[in-house]
């Protein structure tokens, strides 16, 4: 069954050309903070609709959890065989972490917003029309000729309250590119976490435990990844106490940084200077 899925999989790696910045016309759609989800209609009616996240092995479990949702029943009733719909599963006004709770306790709170399809009509325009006829939510969109990533994201934030970022579509909208709001902050290395025993980084550093200075002590706020392989091998106990810069999407529950990634060392700063964490406005 998974082999069949691979033929109509909506690629995890965006197929559109990279966002080129100034003067590049694109269609802009909002991206909300949630779980990437793909619905796949099997050719065998007895199997029907499968819904799964990034790990394909989880698709049966997710289908069972989400089958009571109105949008799931609409897709199940109308999707042609061997087609797929890619989108975001999210809870309005809540961070992505709320999706797990909603799946278990209140599936009706979940919304599914489609932003790509495979096997439906000629391009996103046809698919968008079909999805709307089926009663499936598709995001509002505008055409935009941008200058910089920051200007485009600010423009999108003014249009769509609560959007985590944007989905950009060029040419005939047959591919897409995600762009998310990010901030930077300086943190202090509090500890090093080894890589997973059976993972790619089993013999190197898996992540950096980063903290900020609150005036009296260091407070842990992030588990930072995104280092290249060379840096992972070089990291050691001697790096504890060094200041580094990271990028993150927003400040989440408990003041922790969401999706933090290592950028560079800031050896020009002392630990007591790592105090400010800009907020993107999300909670």
Best-predicted range by mean pLDDT among 123-127, 248-252, 261-265?
A: 261-265
Q: In what order do the strands lie in the sheet with 25-31?
A: 142-145, 25-31, 165-169, 177-180
Question: Quick one: pLDDT at residue 149?
Answer: 66
- Separation between Cα atoms, residue 240 and residue 40, nearest integer Å: 47
Question: Quick one: pLDDT at residue 165?
Answer: 73
Q: CA torsion sign, 165 to 266 to 211 to 272?
A: negative
Q: Which CATH number fits domain 183-273: 2.20.25.570, 2.40.50.140, 3.90.1150.10, 3.40.50.620?
A: 2.40.50.140
- Separation between Cα atoms, residue 171 and residue 150, nearest integer Å: 22
More reliable by pLDDT, 42 or 10: 42
Report domain extents, the chain.
2-180, 183-273
Q: Name the CATH superfamily housing domain 2-180.
A: DNA ligase/mRNA capping enzyme (3.30.470.30)
Q: Which single residue is written with the structure tokens 């920051």?
A: 150
Report pLDDT digits (tens) over 47-66: 677 777 654 444 445 777 88
Residue 226 to residues 48, 200, 201, Cα–Cα distance (Å): 38, 13, 12
Report pLDDT digits (tens) over 128-176: 777 887 778 777 666 666 666 667 667 666 666 666 677 766 654 556 6
Report pLDDT digits (tens) over 88-117: 888 988 888 888 888 888 888 888 888 777
- pLDDT class for 27, splitting at 50, 70, 90? confident
Angle at 169 between CA 163 and CA 175, to 5 degrees: 120
Q: CA torsion sign, 178 to 179 to 183 to 187?
A: positive
- Separation between Cα atoms, residue 226 and residue 262, nearest integer Å: 5
The answer to whether the 2-180 and 183-273 domains have the same CATH topology is no
């Amino acid at each position: 069954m998974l082999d069949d899925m691979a033929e109509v999989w909506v690629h995890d790696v965006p197929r559109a050309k990279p966002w080129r910045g100034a003067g590049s016309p694109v269609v802009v759609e909002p991206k909300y903070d949630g779980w990437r989800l793909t619905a796949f209609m099997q050719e065998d009616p007895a199997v029907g609709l499968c819904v799964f996240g990034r790990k394909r092995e989880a698709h049966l479990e997710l289908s069972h959890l989400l089958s009571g949702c109105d949008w799931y029943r609409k897709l199940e009733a109308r999707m042609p065989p061997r087609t797929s719909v890619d989108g975001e599963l999210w809870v309005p006004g809540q961070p992505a972490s709320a999706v797990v709770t909603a799946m278990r306790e209140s599936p009706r709170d979940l919304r599914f917003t489609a932003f790509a399809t495979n096997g439906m009509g000629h391009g996103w325009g046809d698919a968008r029309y079909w999805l709307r006829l089926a009663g499936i939510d598709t995001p509002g969109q505008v055409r935009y000729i941008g200058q910089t990533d920051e200007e485009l994201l600010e423009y999108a934030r003014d249009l769509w309250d609560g959007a985590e970022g944007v989905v950009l579509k060029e040419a005939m909208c047959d591919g897409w590119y995600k762009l998310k709001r990010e901030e930077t902050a300086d943190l202090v290395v509090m500890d090093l976490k080894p890589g997973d025993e059976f993972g790619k980084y089993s013999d190197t550093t898996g992540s950096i435990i980063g903290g900020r200075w609150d005036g009296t002590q260091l407070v842990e706020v992030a588990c930072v990844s995104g280092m290249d392989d060379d840096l992972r091998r070089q990291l050691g106990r001697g790096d504890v106490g060094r200041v580094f810069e990271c990028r993150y999407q927003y400040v989440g529950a408990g003041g922790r940084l969401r999706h933090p990634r290592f950028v560079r060392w800031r050896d020009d700063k002392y630990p007591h200077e790592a105090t400010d964490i800009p907020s993107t406005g999300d909670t």
